Amino acid sequence: MNTRLKIAKLADATDAAHIEKALEAVPRVNSVRVEPDDHQAVVEHDGADETELTAAVKQLGYVATVE
């Protein structure tokens, strides 16, 4: 399954790399694609908790919401 996260303040590839690494650490996440130009991340997972996904991003100082 895929979950799209809208990420506020996502500015560039450096931000994207940090967010990608944080999301990949969430249990049950298979892959992550962060799109800085669209201010979003697409997370492919096997039932990962959406609250854990947004919390992983928020720990880095960004605001994430599930689309």
> Mean pLDDT throughout 21-41?
97
pTM of this prediction? 0.94
> Mean pLDDT throughout 38-45?
97
Give residues with Cβ within 8 angstroms of 20, minimum separation 6: 32, 33, 34, 41
Beta strands in 14-56 (DSSP E): 29-35, 40-45
The predicted structure's pLDDT at residue 65 = 97
Using the 8-state DSSP alphabet, how is residue 12 labeled? Answer: S
